[in-house]
Structure 1
């Protein structure tokens, strides 16, 4: 009986032990999720606690299909490690670790988008029981850079319906990227109508297209629109932006502006005036300018008035006509053309004043601005002011005076008048710089005589012996007469310039001294004396028989040749007898002298 009871007790303890073991579980720890880029390697760790050691533990790996079923991909116990065939992971997984250290790692190579599943690590212990852990594998793909484009060329603020502004697109991302529209750095969330289109590509990646529709305002003409794209990466999110775009907004003018573009500053007669007229809208409108009841259409919103006069002064009205609503808005500008009339000289263009009297003249010009007047003579300023006064005039006062009237406020605005002043008086010759002149014999000298006076004097040239010289034609200037004569120097000479008119005369004398005439005469005399001495010497030598190898006298009966008949006659003032020498040295009778001082016969 006792033995039987002991047997029942042992069986009961064994049953209790096995029952307790069925209730126990293995503690398994795994991460909630593992994140990895597509194409990279994912590692999923499975940590557990078991006292069975290597021999008493079985390890299995599963994944959950899209339909929720478990699919076994790996088995491991103390005797074998097996990768199940025929699964999407057969050739891409491996498991590291034996489980003895309480952990194994599932490695998935070349992760695909479809690998984004839940993976289960199942642990079975002979003594403790079994347990499992789960990890979700998240796969990521960075999308391409987003693009943005304007939907159409321009948008009108007059449109009642929403306008399609632009389209943003981002392609090939995973998970699906998000697109947000911005206007001037402000997200468009409340005023926009955004149409999103998501496309799943054949690769499983997502492409997202966002279309912005809104009612534009005038302020949008300067706005910058762009898209912000947010996408997921392992461990967080990233953001990228499109480039900025500006849209063309058409809006009617609410005001116009009109101004004178050129010239800058005050306008004067003769200028070209450029008027500009612009509205602040950019919808096509008709622009015109009206002046004195005449409307002129503009070319490029510009009106050019060439060679303006004071008649162009007045009010110019710029008009802008909206071609949609036919409403007109206007703006005025007043244009004033300054003028300066021609100068008026009184008493007139020419005035005749007697010497010693007073010269008085005025010069004025009507102008819209303050003027300044100055008088000039020979290019030099002689007086400032409208009135020219010269007391006790002289011949030097004569000439042409120019009065210049200018407007200091406007550069180049000026006019002028002239006054010719003639001073009645007898001639006055301007004293030459040099009246004592030396010049070489047979050279020519030029004499000039300048005389003032009115009426214009007449100039004549005479020599000291009363001879009248022929001069070049007279040159008459505004206040003087000039005459030039050329004289050939053959001896010392005195030349007189005579100037005369009906009121009197004046004269100036030039003394010309000939250089070198006495020397020439002395040279001629010396040459004659030398010829006489030479003849005497030749005759003496001939008589002595020292010439031509002959002695004695030449045969007088011998006929003389004409080419040998050379006769030299020398005659002095102290003897009546002439000595004639021939080539033969014989004396010739006086009757053959021929009456000449010096005769050379050949």
Structure 2
């Protein structure tokens, strides 16, 4: 019943409006376009002012319906404000008024809400007005997903080949896809680039866009990265989302080969294992074959690698590798070559060989040489100590110390590890040579003492050493050690009188002697000279120690007798130690220990020997 009444009222208002239209005006302001994300809320303002105060204001909201017809969704006047029922907005809109006009709020925006919204204001005689706002709805698409062709693409194709596909889903309005190569945009080009785009509108009203890139690849594309970018509208701007980059496997023929020695580094020497590699620039890699120059026999290799084990100088030469290019016209063959030089060092040759005999005072020249492909360096050693630099060894004025083994070491400075060596043994023959033979050895020893005499002799052939002793019948050789060219002998003799000892040494080349003069000292005579300062010090120390011990014992005995009352020491009643006849009788001293009663009798200085009876009498007294 309310709708006819409302219609009549509106009709009346319109008639009044038309009658006052020439005299009154209304200023109505609305936004031309309002952009909003799907699912959010939209607020559409309708602001108006009248040139004259209206007695009544009526506001109606309409939307453009299917077929272009208007459908009212809200109505308000002085008496009421209501949302029309049975429309798609009955439960999603609300209207609020203020002094400037009304604001229509649409909640939970859907794609179907993208349409025109009309606001119609009537102030009766004060004027009428109408405005509209286009509501635009946006929904960003999903990030792009790119897939490259996994099988690879040949450069020999006649035209563009599909290399990648890019897809973005559920966007509104329809998004666009752009292709890039290394971040540089790709555009369609006849015979080179073709882009096929498929747009699908889902039942939800959202768009899914798929784009396929057809591209004529070249060899330079083997390292390139292809990507796609999706651009789409959002409120107030345009956003973009880029995919990850993909690399395409590009197949192309071999046009050149690189050949190099993988190991060893630097020079190659005999005994090394050599690894040579060859690699073509084609993809997929073409099979590689190896051979030696001027030889039709292929060398065993595997996967572009040639291994030569324990090479010798005979392996030096030019090595080649070849690749048969099946994709090139007429199956063109490409190849590369390199020179392999195997360096060597022959065993050292030493002159004179093995050993050489020299006489004392002679000179000798020895040489050490080794044939090599590189410059060599030679050093001579004796007993681990460097004796000479260079391949020539000069020995002058030979002595017994000159004898021994001389080792030469030949190296190649530019190629560490390449070395050889040799040796020569030098023998020096000569007359015996006694150590310190020029010194006159004079010794002093008391009669009955023993003396050790040493004799150290060198000579080749090994000398015979004997001793000649005059003045002593008690002597013997206690030590005798012999080596290849030395004799070490020690003779021990007892001094009974002045003695001359001679060490005799002899071999095929001569004789040498060493003399020892030993002066004897009578037993009672204090020797004026000692053999060694160590012996004198030792005797003095022993005498001092014994004296100290005797004084200590004697002091202890006297102290004991004093405690027992055996010594008068000024006390009365004690017995005198001496007898009345001190000039003739013996002086007797009694010394007792705690547990013994032994007596020590001292003979008087001028008296005779006492008999046993007298001694006993003295002891009893």
TM-score scaled by length of structure 1 = 0.72
* Aligned residues: CA RMSD: 5.1
2:36–2:137 Cα contact (<8 Å) kept: yes
Q: How does 1:12-27 map to 2 (within 5 A)?
A: none
Cα deviation 1:71-91 (Å, max 9, x = unaligned): 111123333322110111112
| CA distance, structure 1, for counterparts of residue 496 and residue 196 of structure 2 | 123
1:234 CA drift (Å):
0.9
| CA distance, structure 1, for counterparts of residue 154 and residue 180 of structure 2 | 20
Q: How does 1:478-489 map to 2 (within 5 A)?
A: 480-481=485-486, 483=488
| CA distance, structure 2, for counterparts of residue 276 and residue 362 of structure 1 | 43
Which residue number in structure 1 is paired with residue 282 of structure 2? 281
2:24–2:51 Cα contact (<8 Å) kept: no
1:173 CA drift (Å):
2.2
Which residue number in structure 2 is paired with residue 244 of structure 1? 245
Work out whether 1:469 is the aligned partner of 2:474.
no
Which residue number in structure 2 is paired with residue 44 of structure 1? 44
| CA distance, structure 2, for counterparts of residue 433 and residue 122 of structure 1 | 147
Which residue number in structure 1 is paired with residue 605 of structure 2? none
Which residue number in structure 1 is paired with residue 350 of structure 2? 345
Match for 1:298 among 296, 301, 306? 301
* SS across alignment from 2:68: coil
Which residue number in structure 2 is paired with residue 504 of structure 1? 510
| CA distance, structure 1, for counterparts of residue 395 and residue 50 of structure 2 | 138
TM-score scaled by length of structure 2 = 0.70
Cα deviation 1:102-159 (Å, max 9, x = unaligned): x433221222222111112234454487553332100112233333333426444345
1:198 CA drift (Å):
3.2
| CA distance, structure 2, for counterparts of residue 120 and residue 487 of structure 1 | 146
Q: How does 1:161-560 map to 2 (within 5 A)?
A: 162-190=160-188, 191-291=192-292, 293=295, 294-299=297-302, 301-322=304-325, 327-431=332-436, 451-459=457-465, 469=477, 471=479, 474-476=482-484, 480-481=485-486, 483=488, 498-508=504-514, 515=535
Which residue number in structure 2 is paired with residue 133 of structure 1? 131
Please, which runs of 5 or more residues in structure 1 have no aligned partner? 1-14, 528-543, 547-577, 586-602
| CA distance, structure 2, for counterparts of residue 377 and residue 142 of structure 1 | 91
| CA distance, structure 2, for counterparts of residue 50 and residue 330 of structure 1 | 95
Please, which runs of 5 or more residues in structure 2 have no aligned partner? 1-14, 519-529, 551-587, 591-608, 617-621
| CA distance, structure 2, for counterparts of residue 444 and residue 303 of structure 1 | 84
Q: 1:133 to 1:304 in 2, by over 3 A?
A: same
1:54–1:78 Cα contact (<8 Å) kept: no
Cα deviation 1:457-495 (Å, max 9, x = unaligned): 34567777585536465333xxx4354669799999998
Which residue number in structure 1 is paired with residue 104 of structure 2? 106
1:463–1:469 Cα contact (<8 Å) kept: no
Q: 1:58 to 1:496 in 2, by over 3 A?
A: farther
| CA distance, structure 2, for counterparts of residue 461 and residue 257 of structure 1 | 86
Q: 1:184 to 1:74 in 2, by over 3 A?
A: same
1:302 CA drift (Å):
3.0
| CA distance, structure 1, for counterparts of residue 305 and residue 299 of structure 2 | 10
| CA distance, structure 1, for counterparts of residue 437 and residue 169 of structure 2 | 105
Cα deviation 1:227-262 (Å, max 9, x = unaligned): 212111111211221222333333332211112233
1:365 CA drift (Å):
1.6
1:284–1:323 Cα contact (<8 Å) kept: no
Cα deviation 1:28-79 (Å, max 9, x = unaligned): 5433211111222212233456557544543321111243222111123333
* SS across alignment from 2:31: coil
| CA distance, structure 1, for counterparts of residue 450 and residue 36 of structure 2 | 120
